[in-house]
Structure 1
Amino acid sequence: MNKVILSAALSAAISATALAQSGTNSPYSQYDLGLLSANGSGFNRGMNGLGLGFHSHNQVNYMNPASYSSLDSLSFIFDAGLSGQITNFQENSVRKNAKNGVFDYVVAGFRIAKHVGVSFGVLPYSTIGYNYSSTKNLNDRDAFPSTEVGTSTYEGKGGLHQVYLGAGWEPIKGLAIGANIGYLWGNYNRSIVTSFSNGTNSLSRYYKATINNYKLDIGAQYTIKVSQKNELSLGVTYGYGHRLGANPQCEVISSDRQTGVADTTLYEISNGLSIPTSYGAGLMFNHNNKLKIGFDYSLMQYAKLGYPKLNRNNNILQYGLVDGVYNDRQKFTAGVEFCPNDAGRKLAERIRYRIGASYATSYYKVNGIDGPKEYSVSAGFGIPVVNEWNNRSVLNISGSWVHQEVKGLIKENTFRINIGFTFNERWFAKWKVD
């Protein structure tokens, strides 16, 4: 138990160091709570985030908490990962690159009773990070109509993280259920600072919110033996959507540089932020623990949520929730894991080779049109770490390419490297002394 407590404290300390980092420079992170973070630990990411139907004795699959029931009874598993990426942004003939590196996640898991496993960890939920400018003629469609030409600078940072505790139980052979209960926290700070062509006036809008609330996810898996060497698993998940108890604020500052007078007004929406209800389903076909093929589908019901927006109605400014900005987000993922011989003597035979691909729709609209669709592919390896004191740990390395595009808006191409280390120590064996 002392080792478990020490590992939990270490997880929190490592993650706390990394929470201030931003994992994106994308202007698309200015919507809602930011860009959704990649799902899964190191082995999932090699298959592009596949995992709803997967369960393993030596990997923590927090994507479906029912999988914890399959954890090895003699092991304590500690998994940590980091990533680095280069993103190319293209708008018409203008291209720019940005680099980011973050410490992604820390998770751990072990079995506490027969067919009962638990897991805990710290995970990213969303990330915000952008800084860009645009110049346009302001008109009556804006919250602040003007005949002037305005140059607006858009900047934002922040994001959400969660710490969770989960358990999985297999009450009858082949059927497992589980749940993760988490604490979700974070904040965002966004600003739009507009300078007008007359050189005397400026208009600033500052948006901020702080989030502290819970997150609940439940899951189930059912596995059947198709033959002696083949099995098929079905996994389903449900994420409870609810209001976050946060009060988003908008501070508007209108300045006249000639007179030095600034007019400040603060607007607030009571309990104005939410996370959506989500559903997921996945299949996994396992041939002799050598070949695993899977497919996942997920749905996030964003369309039911309101978007905090500052509008002018009858020449009166109002900050409130509006409908029609969000879309339901759907994601389709397929992937494969292959291991030539898990018990082989040669290292190359024991490596797990992984590939995956996915397609996802956008959950928001930009100027009334659907946001960018996302296409991504990945490939990776699970390399066993063998030395004189440990032969159960795994180094997971993967690379992915993510493309986001919508006609008339910015195109993004992201190349990402993920590195995760799964430390698997034999903690719970009972030694016999003659």
Structure 2
Amino acid sequence: MIKRLILGAFVFTTTAILAQKNSASPYSYFGIGENFEAVTVEQASMGGIGVAMKNNQHLNFINPAANADLRAATYAIGGSLTFLTVKEGNESQAGNSTNLRYIALGFPVGKKAGVSVGLQPFSSVGYSLFDDSNPEDVTLFNGEGGANKIYASFGIYAYKGLSVGAEAGFIFGNIENSILNRRANVMLATKYEESFNIRGGQFKLGTQYKTELKNKLQLSAGASFTLSTDLSVKGSEKMYSLSFNNSNQELPREELFNRSLIGNINVPLKTVYGFGLGKENKWYVGVNQQFQSALGSNSVFIADGQSHKYDDSSKFSIGGYYIPKINSISSYWDRVTYRAGLRIEDTGLLVKTTDNFEAVKDFGINVGLGLPLPRQLSNLNLGFEYGQRGTTNNNLIKENYFNVRLSLSLNDINWFHKNKID
């Protein structure tokens, strides 16, 4: 029965992720939108670490080599609720969004290997910006859509303590942007619209190593490499004049141009490496460092060089967990996993100011809980993050956000075994 429920939930939530709007950030205006970092709620609650972490009860999206440690079929689903406050100068505006972040299914293959498959957002666009700095010339910017990634990954032990893995993914999605301009004392407004599809493959390689030190301490190290790839972009753009009826509905008039768009987006090599120290089922502390070169394109899909451009990006994460007593009978809270972490990120996005380009920075402080469920090895995970992105310097936008994350990890050690009595 549990197998049918898990598979049914997998199909249902796949449809939900494809249909949802994932972002409300003004920074999703740039490029192909706000980047989605593929981490589980458990990993996000520890600042986004995990490239070196080995765990047989949870999936690991950062390093495919971690699949080698799977010992039970695991279904994972994660979502988040974001409370966002946007500040520009002395003005601020608040909003929120709710979305599914991933669904995945992993299972062991023999005693030394494992496989996982799943669906995750890759980027998300969801903004509505209003520029009325000049009352004689008002502009409204709107955008929605994004890209998703479906993936399959495999990990295997190549030697005692050493595992290697690989992941293949396919990225797909659609983005729509529009710019509506209205001038005072002018009967007709003008509107620019663009719509394009994104397609392409992505490949990741990873390795992990763990060794035991004195006093049952375990030292682990890991690295993952997401290889450079070119995403194809095809679509169209058009501009036309329009008027408005008494209900403020748009009435298209003369079409100024309508032409095809074609190009590619280069997503460069991303390297993540790190190490961790801990005691199994007791505590763990890890550090991650991530580097990626600047995004590139042979068209204006990524950066027009006037309003924004891209540089190299980096991210530092530190975090861990603590379990008071995993097999406690007298206290439920002694069996709970307590998580915390910190991340500091240079997004690589540079936004045009009056005199120069300003780098967009991001940081987040995270805490979380792993709540055991009655079913063996399964758990409910809660995560909380407070963060800031951007700055109000030079008339730019600063975001203060609070994320509430929730995930369910269902484990079934009897997935591949037939019941003798039905």
TM-score by length of 1: 0.86
2:323: which partner in 1? 339
2:231: which partner in 1? 244
1:286: which partner in 2? 278
From 292, 312, 316, the equivalent of 1:328 is: 312
Matched, 1:399 2:384: yes
Q: Which aligned pairs between 1:53-68 and structure 2 lie closer than 5 A?
A: 53-68=52-67
From 383, 387, 390, the equivalent of 2:371 is: 383
Alpha-carbon distance, 1:45 to partner: 1.9
CA distance in 2, matches of 1:51, 1:295: 8
Q: What amino acid does structure 2 have at the position aligned with 1:165?
A: A
Give 3-state SS (helix, strand or coil) of 1:44's partner: helix
Percent sequence identity over aligned pairs: 22
CA distance in 1, matches of 2:175, 2:273: 31
CA distance in 2, matches of 1:431, 1:19: 34
CA distance in 1, matches of 2:93, 2:380: 33
CA distance in 2, matches of 1:402, 1:217: 28
Contiguous gaps of at least 5 residues in structure 2: 245-251
From 352, 361, 372, the equivalent of 1:373 is: 361
From 103, 106, 110, the equivalent of 1:109 is: 106
From 416, 419, 424, the equivalent of 2:411 is: 424
Q: Which aligned pairs between 1:225-264 and structure 2 lie closer than 5 A?
A: 225-254=212-241, 262-264=254-256
Alpha-carbon distance, 1:83 to partner: 1.0
Alpha-carbon distance, 1:248 to partner: 4.7
Q: What amino acid does structure 2 have at the position aligned with 1:369?
A: F
Q: Which aligned pairs between 1:338-357 and structure 2 lie closer than 5 A?
A: 338-345=322-329, 346-357=331-342
CA distance in 2, matches of 1:182, 1:4: 25
Contiguous gaps of at least 5 residues in structure 1: 138-147, 311-319
Alpha-carbon distance, 1:349 to partner: 1.4
- Indicate the RMSD between aligned Cα atoms, in angstroms: 2.6
Higher alpha-carbon deviation: 34-43 or 176-185:
34-43
1:313: which partner in 2? none
Contact 1:254 1:262 in 2 (8 A): yes
2:51: which partner in 1? 52
1:77: which partner in 2? 74
Higher alpha-carbon deviation: 323-332 or 347-356:
323-332
CA distance in 1, matches of 2:5, 2:378: 19
Alignment deviations for residues 127-156 of structure 1 (CA, whole Å, 9 cap, x no partner): 11011210356xxxxxxxxxx942110000
Q: Which aligned pairs between 1:132-211 and structure 2 lie closer than 5 A?
A: 132-136=129-133, 149-211=136-198
Alignment deviations for residues 283-302 of structure 1 (CA, whole Å, 9 cap, x no partner): 11122431100111111222
Alpha-carbon distance, 1:120 to partner: 0.8
Give 3-state SS (helix, strand or coil) of 2:348's partner: coil
Q: What amino acid does structure 2 have at the position aligned with 1:97?
A: A
Matched, 1:122 2:119: yes
2:202: which partner in 1? 215
CA distance in 2, matches of 1:93, 1:300: 34
Contact 2:240 2:253 in 1 (8 A): no
Give 3-state SS (helix, strand or coil) of 2:11's partner: helix
Shift in alpha-carbon separation, 1:178–1:225, aligned structure 2, 3 A: same
Aligned length: 406
Alignment deviations for residues 73-123 of structure 1 (CA, whole Å, 9 cap, x no partner): xx2111111111110111122111111101111111111122110001111
1:140: which partner in 2? none
TM-score by length of 2: 0.89
Q: What amino acid does structure 2 have at the position aligned with 1:380?
A: G
Give 3-state SS (helix, strand or coil) of 1:245's partner: strand
Alpha-carbon distance, 1:306 to partner: 5.2
2:247: which partner in 1? none
Alpha-carbon distance, 1:28 to partner: 0.6
Contact 1:278 1:300 in 2 (8 A): yes
Give 3-state SS (helix, strand or coil) of 2:52's partner: coil
